[in-house]
Amino acid sequence: MIDFATASYLWIAIVKAVLVALISIVSASCMKEPGRQKLMAIVLGLAAGVYLDGGFVFWEFPFAIAVVVCAYKGLHWYPAIGIGWLLHTGWDILHHAAHKPLIGFLPTSSLECAITDAILAAWLFASAPDVREWLWKRTSEIVE
């Protein structure tokens, strides 16, 4: 049974992960195309190496190569970046389940990363639309 403190901490971790994803999406939306696509591909390529320090030892390298390939393909095709983030989401979940978190002193760090990655992947599968336009439309409708 999960106690109240653990449940509260878990909710804080989930909210943090969603906020990180939303801030990342709004920040990336500030870039015009094709710069946004290139940036997201580069960020994915960098994220490919975050687990290379151990965790699953040998298996980290083939995983990193697969994600880097997705990042390279993503330079010209948004769904490849989404696929790479979904791969990273799966890897985060495996690390969380194996109690080998991304950040050793933060036990939920891999879980948080998985949530953030999944939200980013969904946005990228939609071809990374500029969310600022949507936000401006919604706020202008509310004001009127």
Domain that holds residue 100: 4-143
> Mean pLDDT in runs of 10 for the chain (144 residues)?
66 95 94 94 94 83 96 96 97 92 88 96 94 73 60
Residues with Cβ within 8 Å of residue 77, at least 6 apart in sequence:
none
Do residues 25 and 19 lie in contact, with contact meaning Cβ atoms separated by under 8 Å? no
Please give the pLDDT value at position 31: 92
Please give the pLDDT value at position 119: 97
pLDDT single digits (tens) 33-59: 999 999 999 999 999 988 887 778 889
pTM of the model: 0.87
Q: Tokens 């993503």 correspond to what residue? A: 74
Do residues 59 and 47 lie in contact, with contact meaning Cβ atoms separated by under 8 Å? no
Distance, C-alpha 57 to centroid of its chain: 22
Please give the pLDDT value at position 91: 94
Please give the pLDDT value at position 138: 62
pLDDT single digits (tens) 114-128: 999 999 999 999 999
DSSP output for the chain: ---HHHHHHHHHHHHHHHHHHHHHHHHHHTSPTTHHHHHHHHHHHHHTTTTTTSTTGGGHHHHHHHHHHHHHHHTT-HHHHHHHHHHHHHHHHHHHHTT--SSTT-TTHHHHHHHHHHHHHHHHHTT---HHHHHHHHHHHHH-
Domain count for the chain: 1
% the chain with pLDDT above 70 = 90
